[in-house]
Structure 1
Amino acid sequence: MKLSIFLSTTFRALPLAGSLLVNSCTAQESTFRIVDKPIVFDEERKQLSLEYLAQRHGIQQAEPFIKPKMIVLHWTAIPTLDATFDIFNPSVLPGRTELQSASRLNTSVPFVVDRDGTIFRLLPDTTFARHCIGLNYCAIGIENVGNNDLTEAQLKANIQLIRYLKSHYKDIEYLIGHYEYKDFIGTPLWKETDPNYLTGKTDPGKAFMQKVRTRLKDLNLKGSPAQTE
């Protein structure tokens, strides 16, 4: 499906910068680009997204978009970009019974960073995506291809992408790793209607998050509440 058709039929009100975006981040960071590689977002995925917002987050709205307050970093635990794309592309979740019980909506994120640091955009930046329990409604997800072996190129790309997102969405206050999501239980940001719907996560690793945070100190992004206790 061509991106222009993808946007005009499904995401008229959602921002996307074009088929290729070049952005200067800071004097210290080189220019970078985002390559659009859209996954399926058909009527079924739209309706499942709206149902998820209503049933899991208690939010009723007419379009599947978010007002981002947070960026969540992940790793795919899948070794290649193509395999990652194939997992996220269907509208309906394939398998994974532990997630099926909550919703048939497939997992996805707006951004995937390949091993060489290339950034691919699967969805417009502020499209609702299922990737982080309790926080999907306010979180932009970034997946990194791989596991506990993320590369220096991926580190650099994440830093550049986070700078881009913060410059475009001023209300973003938080930057967390997926493994930190449970720290928001009991805070005003947490919206999950089933207190027992939780999964264990370790991605993208504490060492990777520490490196990212060190390079982004100037943005003054908050971490999980546990970091301030």
Structure 2
Amino acid sequence: MWQVAIVVGGGNIFRGSSWAGSSGLERSSADYIGMLATVMNAIFLQATMESIGIPTRVQTAFRMSEVAEPYIRRRAVRHLEKGRVVIFAAGTGNPFFTTDTAAALRCAEINAEVVLKATNVDGVYDDNPKHNPDARLQDNLTYHDVISKELSVMDLTAITLCQENNIPVVVFNLNKTGNIAKAIKGERVGTLIGDTWNTEAVVS
């Protein structure tokens, strides 16, 4: 039985790093607003999933008890064991850390087997495919490849955390129908960073 946890971002509503400095907004405050945006997305995602019969729980990195549970590791694991999808919101609860880092952290905490990085491209390329039509999609990469070549897959903190905990990362296109199911089932999709993986995932 697959156990799936989802770390949601909020960039479609508010991206803290983009707004820092605007109208005197400090980076910390901008990041907290971004975290609130992830909670909005998490609640919307929960409603959507439960409307099609998928039981879910939303857990936030800081307390918002009227709308979601606080993040408690043992409770999250218990929800997964009962077949519920757990949606992690509000990042790590700290400014200056990305959603990617939150995904890597939660993955390590709940002993998940892989991070599935859902994005808007087919995987990791050796160059920017938007600017170079000859850019090639990479099937496999090591953590060292990502770090040494400064590939913009995940931020350095996130990829280092995955490396230290031997957590593979699969980067794939969210917009292609069926890709999430393929990734969770272990079918070939996108780019694999690190070792092979099996059945328990955190989707970022």
Q: Same fold per TM (> 0.5)?
A: no
Bin for the TM-score computed over the shorter chain = 0.3 to 0.5
- Kindly indicate which of the two structures has a greater share of residues assigned to strand: 2
TM-score for the superposition, normalised by structure 2: 0.34
What is the TM-score of this pair, normalised by structure 1?
Answer: 0.32
